Homo-oligomer: A and B are copies of this chain.
Amino acid sequence: MAEEHPGPLSGMRVIELSSFVAAPLGGMTLAQLGADVVRVDPVGGGPDARRWPLAPSGRSLYWAGLNKGKRSVTVNLRSDRGRDLVAALVTAAGTVVTNAPPRPGLTYEELRERRADLVYARLLGHHDGRTAVDYTVNAEVGFPLVTGPAHHDGPINHVVPTWDVACGLYLAIGLLAADRQRTATGRGRRMEVALHDVALATAGNLGFLAEAQLSTTGRPRIGNDLYGDFGRDFGTADGRRVMVVVLGERHWRDLVAATGLARVVSALEQALPADFRRESDRFAHREALGGLLVPWFAGRTLSDLEETFAGTSVLWSPYRAFEELAADGAALLRAQPLMAELSQPGVGPHLAPGSPLVLDDLRVPPAPAPELGEHNAEVLAELLSLTPGEVAALRADGVVG
């Protein structure tokens, strides 16, 4: 299979000097597309080696999840010889992705002197080099103050580290773009992306900043309601909650038809007056419309809803807990070809995702994360032609793990 369908990035080699989410996710995304990604850590592991959540064994599920399919090399980064070894690996690979503060010998300028066409992709907290993490960046750009119930006072943080995830993917994009240019012109590039810039750019791209600047009313805190059309959550007869989303006239028409509320909705439309074919009127009167729908949903079970909405354009989903998703592994594996059972050393078999990028219908199943330092001898031999004796000497001297 690997020979018939090599990953699209096969032949690309990346050295990753990273920790936590963004840079590791960027590297993993490249690895899942066929690149050879070598994560370099201090001997004993980086600051994320024991980050929660943990497996019952104490191993970090977070580390295992974000470093799947890479090779691992451990080096004493406090020693000149260790850093020189890493610089040599970067020189051999030609491409590096990092969120580590540049140590002596490993700055862009020094690395580029060793390899003129280096592609160097670096994650920053703020553009000026000040540190930041997803949680602090999220606080700064406005989202927590418009998240949650209208009556809530104070910020509500998101649980998904959106900026970390987006930043990791931006890193991969920048690196691939720079690599493309290098292939065409022979020229390397230094690429930087800051977590805070990604958050601010997203707030801008989605119109939140322009709205705050140009609108006189500002964005209200609207709980689980959809902004600018009709969407909200409802309770069902069997104690579940579902999210229902209307985006455009067709969805609305189908929702009204499926729920049999055409007559009462039309009466409301005439009495107000309003025109519910328009998104602005659906949004303005969302409480009244929601009020009509609440008893309809409350009288139906999840399976009633599945039956009623089948074949319509109505967009809806039940809310599910992580526990519910994971409770029936066999069902999850059947329904979601993304998922596979992965045997991860130190953790044991568990459900893990492959790459969400599917090329020519070919799913790439998840590969285990490496053990720390698992590939020291192998990588030093392959990239730097070191003999087993030379690697053993480096290990004896405490230069590699």
A184: nearest chain-B partner, CB-CB:
B11
Within 8 A of B (CB), among A84-112: none
CA distance A138 to B131 in the complex (A): 29
Chain A positions 313 through 348: 1 when the CB is less than 8 Å from some CB of chain B, otherwise 0:
101111111111111010000001111000000011
* Interface assignment of A281: CB less than 8 Å from any CB of chain B: no
* Interface assignment of A385: CB less than 8 Å from any CB of chain B: no
Instruction: State which of B62, B131, B149, B218 has its C-beta within 8 Å of the C-beta of A322.
Output: B218
CA distance A68 to B133 in the complex (A): 28
CA distance A58 to B249 in the complex (A): 18
CA distance A277 to B101 in the complex (A): 23
Within 8 A of B (CB), among A44-77: 47, 50-56, 60-62, 64-66, 68
* CB-based closest 5 A-B pairs: A52-B228, A61-B207, A169-B169, A204-B353, A212-B322
Within 8 Å CB of A132, what residues of B? 315, 317
A342: nearest chain-B partner, CB-CB:
B210
Chain A positions 292 through 329: 1 when the CB is less than 8 Å from some CB of chain B, otherwise 0:
00000000000000000000010111111111111101
Cross-chain contact B211 with A53 (CB below 8 angstroms):
yes
Q: A213-B350, A214-B348 are in contact. List 20 more A-B contacts (CB 8 A).
A: A34-B177, A53-B219, A60-B207, A127-B338, A135-B243, A135-B315, A139-B233, A139-B242, A140-B318, A145-B320, A148-B156, A154-B241, A156-B156, A158-B162, A166-B169, A172-B173, A174-B357, A197-B353, A209-B353, A212-B327
Within 8 Å CB of A166, what residues of B? 162, 165-166, 169
Cross-chain contact B139 with A317 (CB below 8 angstroms):
yes
* Interface assignment of A146: CB less than 8 Å from any CB of chain B: yes
Cross-chain contact B159 with A213 (CB below 8 angstroms):
no
Chain A positions 144 through 182: 1 when the CB is less than 8 Å from some CB of chain B, otherwise 0:
111111001011111111100110011011101111110
Within 8 Å CB of A213, what residues of B? 326, 329, 350-351
> Which of A188-196, A372-380, A391-399 faces chain B?
A188-196
What distance in Å separates the Cβ of A13 from its nearest Cβ neighbour in chain B?
Answer: 13
Residues in chain A within 8 A of chain B (CB atoms): 8-9, 11-12, 20-21, 25, 28-29, 33-34, 47, 50-56, 60-62, 64-66, 68, 127, 131-133, 135-149, 152, 154-162, 165-166, 169-170, 172-174, 176-181, 183-184, 189-194, 197-198, 200-216, 218-219, 223-224, 226-229, 231, 233, 241-243, 245, 247-248, 279, 283, 313, 315-327, 329, 336-339, 347-348, 350-361
Within 8 Å CB of A158, what residues of B? 143, 147, 158-160, 162
Instruction: State which of B131, B215, B322 has its C-beta within 8 Å of the C-beta of A219.
Output: B322
Cross-chain contact A325 with B210 (CB below 8 angstroms):
no
12 CB contacts below 8 A, A to B, read A8-B178, A20-B247, A21-B206, A51-B247, A52-B229, A135-B245, A143-B158, A146-B159, A176-B177, A190-B360, A193-B358, A194-B356
A179: nearest chain-B partner, CB-CB:
B180
What distance in Å separates the Cβ of A182 from its nearest Cβ neighbour in chain B?
Answer: 9
A278: nearest chain-B partner, CB-CB:
B50
Cross-chain contact B219 with A136 (CB below 8 angstroms):
no
Cross-chain contact A320 with B139 (CB below 8 angstroms):
yes
